[in-house]
Amino acid sequence: MVFSGIPFLFFFLPLCLILYYVVPFSWKNGTLLVFSLIFYAWGEPLYILLMLFSTALDYTNGRLMERYGTTEGRRRFFLCCSICVNLSLLAFFKYADFAVSVVNGIFQTQIISPQIHLPVGISFYTFQTMSYIIDLYRGEVKAERSYITYLTYVSMFPQLVAGPIVRFSDIQEQLHCREITRDGIERGVLRFMTGLFKKVLIANQTGALWEEIRVLGAADTSVATAWLGALCFTLQLYFDFSAYSDMAIGMGQMLGFHYSENFRYPLTAVSVTDFWRRWHISLSTWFRDYVYIPMGGNRKGVSRHLLNIAVVWFLTGLWHGASWNFILWGVYYGILLVLEKYLWGKALAKTPQFFQHIYAFLIVVFGFVVFAITDMGELGSYIRLLFSLGSNTLVDTRFLWYLGNYGIVLGAACVLACPIYPWICRKASFLGRKGSFVLSLVTGVAVLLLFVMATAYMVSDTYNPFLYFRF
């Protein structure tokens, strides 16, 4: 995919920015739309028609709702038309193969799997278009009169493929009036570079170690090595996904848009509840606002609250992929959130904060093992390996070799997963202009050096996966 490769970084983005800056404001949305469609067509030339159909459907229903939605019944009709079609398309392209395999497994049939290729980013842009029509139905936004503007919102290449899920209500005004400043461009470049470094220098390296550990047989894997692999995948997923969010937010700033944060140092959470306030914020708030709260939230008694949590977390797991391990991962977090809410949450809050961090971190790392391995047999074997203190060596020479070779990357990842840089910025602000100048100088030198390193890795390293490509 061009988004993760050198052609995008060194050709597509600069060309887009140059043309975007030189055209008058009335042409900026059109320019951005053209480049967004080229970007998507580069990787998905056929499925661009699917996105155009989906956006045309919601745009049309939005206009019809505004013009003819004089009664609740009519408004609900237009809402249901959009939601049913959007969810049907998502279900067909993302879950048809999974549904066939489930039916074959239950009824011992021989239905041939359709082998449907998943359109890139369909989960993200489907949720964006649904948020528009739902907010319009609620009266929280006004119908967009320009289809070009609405299509620009949905197809905007900075966040189309990997999020964050940007709601129309958040950027409706920016689509019509936004300011492009030198400070915004500088901040955007720095944020984009931060994401690039996280992806290339940390996510790819920890991911390579995870892949190496994952394929080891049980006889060659100690308990410590298995946990090291789980840690590596956790770091890979966090730095990979948050890197793309950083790059999307940075590119948005360069274009004059301001997207909401999608990650707030989730690996420093003190509970499962806190983790989900920090991880993939745009998704968790989407389910909260459009599923959990409309179903009643926690306002209709304990039994209804438990049902609402079960539904939300089943859907959250299913959203991530058409596989049983994703459903299990969603159920895993749903159960833990219920237990924190009704059993040990208050007691946990009274324990030392260090214990709270360890508790949440271990739960998250183990949970991402469930997330990482789609084959249920392989998943069961790896989980047994994590807890097989009696049958496997606790620590072996392979584990020590991995630490020796990847120790710097792992150490840097663990440090950067903590809010160190914001702390440094706060300290520098207390020193006044001199402190800010020194921080800017050090940051500039660091960015230059890291850019050289990242470029060298991109040229020489063939391992460059895109974990959220399938979502």
The answer to whether 160 and 245 are in contact (CB under 8 A) is: no
Burial of 133 (0-12, 13-18, 19+ CB in 10 A): buried
Torsion of CA 455, 456, 457, 458, to 10 degrees: 50
* Per-residue DSSP letter, 257: -
Distance, CA of 392 to CA of 374 (rounded, Å): 24
Q: How far apart are CA 1 and CA 5, in angstroms?
A: 7
Task: Please give the backbone phi and psi of residue 355, each rounded to the nearest 5 degrees, phi first.
Answer: -65, -40
List CB contacts of 188: < 8 A, sequence separation 6 or more.
249, 250, 251, 252, 253, 254, 255
| Sign of the alpha-carbon dihedral angle for 360, 366, 367, 372 | positive
Residue 184 C-alpha from the chain's centroid: 23
Token readout for 157 is 């290449």
Catalytic residue of the set 258, 280, 320, 357: 320
Taking CA atoms, 408 is separated from 81, 238, 304, 400, in Å, by: 53, 18, 48, 13
In the residue annotation, 117 being an active-site residue is answered as no
Answer whether the bond into residue 164 is a cis peptide, omega within 30°.
yes
Q: Report how far residue 265's alpha carbon sits from residue 31's, in angstroms, rounded to the nearest whole number.
A: 34
Specify the 3-state DSSP secondary structure of 91: helix
Query: In this structure, are residues 348 and 271 in contact, taking their beta carbons and an 8 Å threshold?
Result: yes
Active site residues: 320
